[in-house]
Structure 1
Amino acid sequence: MGPTRKRDLTGAVVGAAFLSYLVVLQLFRWFPPITVWTGLSLLGVAIAEALWARHIRAKINDGEIGDGPGWVHPLAVARSLVIAKASAWVGALVLGWWAGVLVYFLPRRPWLRAAAEDTTGTVVAAVSALALVVAALWLQHCCKSPPDPTERGEGAET
């Protein structure tokens, strides 16, 4: 399992935005109002992942990976990596959805009251989804093992 590529996530965002624009174009009249609270749950998950990434990075840097008390088990790091990959993809797809909705709303704001009222909630949801993508990529980065100093000859005796 390799790291999530940013170009793949970008493709997912663009594809989801295109599809969501088409869906909103046809079905907007049946949509419920979009409030500021709509996307804040993703922001909560993003904050939790960023805090967990900071914790994991500190444990890895301090060498506290293993079965000791207060240490992080290697399987917990592997599970964190899987969660980070899944979160990055979910965040990218949701970001694409809200970007498509926003592309629909922005030109219609002056004459469509619902679009004007829902734009703020849509922006908050899109920013929350972007925060989830960034936090997930950060968590992936923090799950990497530090380089072994003996591999480059730094710790080897001559």
Structure 2
Amino acid sequence: MVPTRKRDLTIATVVLAILGYVVTWRLFGSFPPIRVLTGVSLLGVAVAVAAWGFYLRSKIGDGKIGVGPGRVHPLAVARAVMIAKASAWVGALALGWWLGVSAFFVPNRSVLRVAGEGSVGAVLAALSALALVLAALWLEHCCKSPDDPPDDADGVLG
């Protein structure tokens, strides 16, 4: 299993940002209201994922991987990697969407009432999605064995 490539996440974010902008531009009148708490659920998941990363990092750093009391089962670490990868992708896609919505709402907030009311919620949702991406990448990083080579050991980044 290879680490999540930041380049792929960036491409997905940019594509969804463009799509989010176009969809918002064409259909903003039929959008439900975007409240300040719209993206807070992403922030809650980000906090949980980051906390899981700190927990696993402490266990892996202490050599407490294996079967037995006080140890983390290797399959639990593998599951954490899969959760980290999925969370990174969900966060990147949500980040792209909310960046696109924000890119439409923020410049138009003085012209359109809906944009004025929803711009703060859209920006906070984008920040929450960014927090989820960062937390997921942190969790994936924390799941590495101390003996693992660095991500760019073969000289290729990404």
**Secondary structure class of the residue paired with 1:37:** coil
AA in 2 matched with 1:46: A
Runs of 4+ off more than 3 Å: none
Give the equivalent residue in structure 1 for 2:154. none
Deviations for 1:47-82, whole angstroms, at most 9, x for unmatched residues?
000000000000001111011101100000000000
Give the equivalent residue in structure 2 for 1:54. 54
Q: Counterparts of 1:20 and 1:43 in 2: how far apart (Å)?
A: 20
Offset at residue 138 of structure 1 (A): 0.2
Offset at residue 110 of structure 1 (A): 1.3
Deviations for 1:98-120, whole angstroms, at most 9, x for unmatched residues?
00001111221111111011111
Can you give the 5+ residue segments of structure 1 that lack an aligned partner in the other structure? 149-158
AA in 1 matched with 2:60: I
Is 1:82 the counterpart of 2:82? The answer is: yes
Give the equivalent residue in structure 1 for 2:65. 65
Give the equivalent residue in structure 1 for 2:131. 131
Offset at residue 88 of structure 1 (A): 0.2
Deviations for 1:18-72, whole angstroms, at most 9, x for unmatched residues?
1111111111111011011110000000000000000000000111101110110
AA in 2 matched with 1:27: L
Q: Counterparts of 1:22 and 1:109 in 2: how far apart (Å)?
A: 17
Larger Rg: 1
Pairwise CA RMSD: 0.9
**Secondary structure class of the residue paired with 1:38:** coil
TM-score, structure 2 normalization:
0.91
TM-score, structure 1 normalization:
0.91
